[in-house]
Structure 1
Amino acid sequence: MPRRVWLLAVPGFALAVAGLFHPHHLSYDTSYRWYALHVPGLLVFPLVGLALAELVHGRRDAVAWLIRLAAYVYATFYTALDVVSGIGAGWVTHELGPDVPRPRAVSLMFGIGTPLGEVGSAALIAAAALLVYDQLRRHRAWPVVLLVPGAVLVHIGHIFAPEGVAGMALIGLGTAGAAMRRS
């Protein structure tokens, strides 16, 4: 299997694995793991968008630019979610200590992060749908169809198990399959 295929699959698979360890709720007891998972996520979430954009590398047509734009919006807004609701809220909750109930300020952080993440995940769905249209039309790259349910599952479940883990795994498979078809 060509190295490019592996490189495009790694971000989705890495986030799927991280999702297996992602706590479903933020409390003092889960806060350090919550924070610690989101710091490397800061580097990996944008790579999902880069992998999607790489599937149209070198092209200058309108569909390719729309895919790049949607992948960029996903990468930017989902990274913002990661910073605010992952790193920020996790760190603040941990630093407050075990005897302090979660303050309203942490909930307000989720009030900022959640809508940013929703914009990002909607852009991920758009990039996936555009890629399905494009790759089936150009290359008959059937594995690309995995991107849409993967993106929808990420929209529903972030990277939480089981939905988000399955979603990111499908994104890894879909990008790898489309890349293999082009190789």
Structure 2
Amino acid sequence: MIATRTAPRSVRLVRAACAAVALAALATACGGHDEGDTAPQTSSSPVLGRLHVVAPDVDLTVTDAVAHVDASGTGTLTMTIHNGSGVPEHLDMVATPDSGRGQLVGGRGSGSGSMTSAGILLAPGATVTFGSSSGPSVRLTRAHLGADHTLPLKLEFGVARLVELSARVSGG
């Protein structure tokens, strides 16, 4: 209900206080992580294109990350992501060096791998293969490769937050 000038001042104050409490509760519920949250623990792996992230409500494994790019840095990123946690996760963003971004494209269907308002859905217990015929994909443009013929990536997830890995590079 909207407060109007005809309502007594005390009624308007109560309505404003209720609205403020509701907004604060909504912001807390949707705000994600606060500074007291435990940072994700990334296990290092000697295998290029692989990453395992563990934290409260997070158990993500990224495998087989390969950037298929041509000389201009245009192409696709293929990888497999397994969400071993009991909560839904979303891949929100893929960043490359020099402020580059990968364009996320959702897979067919409405389940894991589909595009939602929060990013690519990774349902609890699901494994999603990026770059498969019906799965989601990441399009790269002007990606700048590392000196060791790898592509440093930053992946931003809704729950796990920002993680880093290097993808192996294959010609486009």
Interval of TM-score (by shorter of Structure 1 and Structure 2) = under 0.3
TM normalised by structure 1 equals 0.23
**Greater helix share, structure number:** 1
**Greater strand share, structure number:** 2
Higher relative contact order, chain-length normalized (CA < 8 Å, sep 6+): 1
Q: Which has the larger radius of gyration?
A: 2
